[in-house]
Chains A and B, each alone.
Chain A
């Protein structure tokens, strides 16, 4: 009995830590959707593009790990600019499906660029986390999970501080709530949109580093997997609600880890999409979402 209890709580801890990773992805989707009211399906590809671009200084100059992290952030921001330019800038207003399709087009283009440049083979990614786990009481905890937890805490603290304590953050929230009213009060919407893109792309760079470093390799198929998880988390929490995305990420992490432990690895994604479907049917606006879609 205590054995099961120990297993459950260990997986709960793991899930909670890994859930921070899901929360970060969902957070990126959510901030962008909250401010611009547009879904960026190329976000998962932006994340992977950052991770792959950060390999350039690593392979060429054997760069230290902090350079890899920074170049992942810079690379993702560069790709983010490209996505904004190709997918959003020149679209006519009033067509809900158009940005969805352009970002899908961008997803294909970015993924194919990665496949083309690397021959679809996974590349080894530098990991600063090491192999052995940390012992904490009766539990064994992976180091990369601790890093994910710390990064999540740091990022969300910074993001919340930014959007609640600074002028720009307030302008961002204003645009998210009522773009027209914000514009009347002198907020330049295009600038806020650009800022939002820069912020979420920088976040994508961090996520890309964590994702690749945690498994020790960069693989092109991760982009689609990341997109799927990000969408689940975003919808779970309620479109556009950042606290909802965090909660959704943690719940998804915990449920997946319990399912993996007790049912087997193939059930991980069934559980993820199953709870997504059920939550949407029972509570269509997500856990913390106020508005209907």
Chain B
């Protein structure tokens, strides 16, 4: 049972990270650096509970806030670059964050343990969840609650004017600007919000694992985070969640295969991209689901003028 709770927790945390990449992607930008915001959120939220004695929720929000501010700051320079350049520039940002955490030390001794970011050692002993006697299932409940709240925002976004503006910028920037959309504002907003979501994901992660180090926010996490939305589909916010659920449970479920599971992981990405280049829940499927859901929600009526 604990095993399944652990897998579900990781899926929830990674789904949030996937949603963060998705949010940037639907504004037509490609970020390969959301793991940097994840790291910022994790370190700050961890410092919140472990060093400053704050409760969990304010610490998570603090991490998300700082990650959002960093997203805002990265969003502006990112306006000047597009496509591959942006992907690589943001990867550069992610690596800088990682290398800064490799060098940062801010430790204090608490209860005989060295707590705090400690360079290459990482940030150990974030024991809030254990100290407060939360079980794995209860913590999973917190993760699910956060994921549900964020998903609700995305559900609203997919149906709102703002969401339409994001998609318009993705489709064609010039045309979007022509109809009066402030492209700069939309893009920076997407980066800011995506940074905050990734920070939230990081904060949840460090309290789940009680530990993070710079190696955990390196290239593999970057690859995973962009794989979720691209494989799951960019048509709806359900795409990245589906992608995270599929890939995490696949890598965990194939643990019996040991080393071979990563072959399957890599192979699955290749095959999916050949068969469904816009992911499993692509725009067409998302539209069909949306129509099907709304047809169920209210019976069709024939309107007469």
Contacts and interface: CB of A to CB of B under 8 A. Distances in A.
A112 B83 contact: no
A91 interface: yes
Interface of A: 39, 86-87, 90-92, 95-102, 104-109, 112-113, 115-116, 224, 228, 231-232, 235, 239, 266, 269-270, 273-274, 276-277, 280-281, 284, 292-293
B274 A102 contact: yes
Contacts of B270: 86-87, 101-102, 105-106, 109
18 contacts: A39-B84, A91-B274, A95-B278, A101-B270, A102-B274, A104-B266, A107-B223, A109-B266, A109-B267, A112-B266, A231-B88, A269-B99, A274-B96, A276-B88, A277-B96, A281-B80, A281-B89, A293-B83
B100 interface: yes
A108 B265 contact: yes
B134 to A, nearest CB: 35
Contacts of A115: 259
Nearest to A120: B259
B95 A228 contact: yes
Interface in B136-178: none
A109 B263 contact: yes
Of listed A109, A116, A224, residue having the most chain B CB within 10 A: A109
Contact of A273 (B92, B268, B273, B277): B92
A24 B241 CA distance: 40
Nearest to B74: A277
B273 A105 contact: yes
A235 B85 contact: yes
Contacts of A104: 223, 226-227, 266, 269
Interface in B74-88: 77, 80-88
B107 to A, nearest CB: 18
Interface string B87-129: 1110111011001101100000000000000000000000000
A97 B30 contact: yes
Contacts of B277: 91-92, 95, 97-98
Interface in B254-297: 259-260, 262-263, 265-270, 273-274, 277-278
Contacts of A235: 84-85, 88-89
Given A112-B262, A113-B263, A224-B219, A281 B273 contact: no
Q: Which 6 A-B pairs have the closest CB atoms?
A: A105-B269, A108-B266, A95-B277, A109-B266, A281-B77, A112-B262
A277 B88 CA distance: 9
Nearest to A108: B266
Contacts of B266: 104-109, 112
B282 to A, nearest CB: 10
Interface of chain B: mostly helix, strand, loop or mixed: helix
Contacts of A273: 92-93, 95-96, 99
Contact of A91 (B81, B87, B273): B273
Contacts of B259: 112, 115-116
A96 B262 CA distance: 24
Given A91-B273, A99-B273, A108-B263, 5 more contacts: A86-B270, A97-B277, A108-B223, A116-B260, A235-B89
Given A108-B223, A228-B95, A273-B95, A101 B269 contact: yes
B230 interface: yes
B231 interface: yes
A293 B84 CA distance: 7
A99 B273 CA distance: 8
Nearest to A112: B262
Nearest to A231: B88
Interface in B221-244: 223, 226-227, 230-231
A231 B222 CA distance: 15
A102 B80 contact: no
A102 B85 CA distance: 19
A228 B94 CA distance: 12
Q: Of residues A87, A107, A235, A292, which shows the largest number of chain B Cβ atoms within 10 Å of its Cβ?
A: A235
B233 to A, nearest CB: 12
Contacts of A270: 96, 99-100
Contacts of B273: 91, 95, 98-99, 101-102, 105
Nearest to A282: B80
Contacts of B278: 95
Residue of A95, A112, A269, A292 with most partner-chain B CB within 10 A:
A112
B95 A293 contact: no
Contacts of B268: 105
A292 B85 CA distance: 9
A277 B89 contact: yes
A277 B87 CA distance: 11
A95 B80 CA distance: 22
Nearest to A274: B96
A261 B91 CA distance: 25
Given A39-B84, A293-B84, A280 B89 contact: yes
